[in-house]
Amino acid sequence: MMNINQKVIIFAHPRSGSTSLCKILNTHPDLNLAYEPLHPSYGEWNPDEKNYIDFINDIPSLDAAMEELFRKYNGMKVLSYQLRAENFKHLLYRPDCKVIFLWRANYLKSVVSILIAEQTHVWQKKDLNKVPGAYQQQLKPLKTEGIDGIGNRVKRIREEIQYWDRVVSQKPEGTFYKVTYEDLYCNGVEQGAARVKDIFAFLGLEVPETDEFVKFLEPQNEQINTVKTYEKVPNIREINDRFGSKENGYLF
């Protein structure tokens, strides 16, 4: 049984499958995780709650927001861009928090997925209801040059993930768990389910019935951008040829 004073933080990089992981953990009766309470649109998504990020400008105001949130939830999913680094360190190093650090090892797919989402405004499955059915047919070439070009964005993501890996690794042993998108979603449902069971064990919780969470591991239920989506991007082959590598990952 999880310690009632223990909190859970899914600390993730964008496009890493964190929404699906949050859904998986929330299938457990002892868990009630908030979905991105530090997102600028949280108050819009949840009209009965504060837009917490509007009230956070330093560590004392962060602590006040967390005190309020942790009265309603015993965990949350947050993304790495949603707070300044010093504030995130303070949150991640809370002694009452166990941290699940989630990222995507294929940096190139991560960047391409982000750029497609920026064009289409489809970040989650539910967003598909807000866009035309053939939105993928209207994809424009992705920017390859400049500060926001693919090369620089891949470099930044790689450096950010390596930085946060070092930060999380400084927590005491047994208070953090590292997992990648690929571990959960790319090697078959059986292996993904095995990693989910490891995560519940890390949290000190019994594993729910597999039928409760396995649907969130199946790509056809959760995945938005597939190889077929990439192929709709006019310059996608050039992107794969120029930026694909063993270090960055490949699109195909």
What's the CA gap between 229 and 80, in Å, rounded?
Answer: 25
Burial grade of 94 (CB within 10 A; 0-12, 13-18, 19 or more): middle
Q: What is the pTM of this model?
A: 0.93
Task: State the virtual CA torsion across 81, 84, 86, 92 in degrees, nearest 10.
Answer: -40
Q: How confident is the model at residue 224 (pLDDT cuts 50, 70, 90)?
A: confident
Mean pLDDT across the chain, nearest whole number?
93
Q: How confident is the model at residue 88 (pLDDT cuts 50, 70, 90)?
A: very high
What's the CA gap between 54 and 11, in Å, rounded?
Answer: 20
Q: Kindly tell me if the per-residue pLDDT of 129 is higher than 80.
A: no
* CA proximity to 154, closest of 40, 20, 251: 251
Residue 2: per-residue pLDDT: 57
Q: How confident is the model at residue 210 (pLDDT cuts 50, 70, 90)?
A: confident
**Where are the chain's structural domains?**
7-243
Residue 1: per-residue pLDDT: 52
| Better pLDDT: 122 or 163 | 163
Q: How confident is the model at residue 225 (pLDDT cuts 50, 70, 90)?
A: confident
Q: Kindly tell me if the per-residue pLDDT of 131 is higher than 80.
A: no
Q: What is the pLDDT of residues 70-81, one digit of tens each?
A: 999 999 999 999
Pick one of 3.40.50.300, 3.40.50.970, 3.20.20.70, 3.30.420.40 as the CATH number of 7-243.
Answer: 3.40.50.300
* CA proximity to 24, closest of 86, 75, 92, 90: 75
Amino acid present at 62:
L
Cβ neighbors of 24 (< 8 A, separation 6 or more) are: 196, 213, 216, 217
Q: Kindly tell me if the per-residue pLDDT of 133 is higher than 70.
A: no
What's the CA gap between 225 and 112, in Å, rounded?
Answer: 9
Q: Are the C-beta atoms of 52 and 37 separated by less than 8 Å? A: yes
Residue 128: per-residue pLDDT: 67
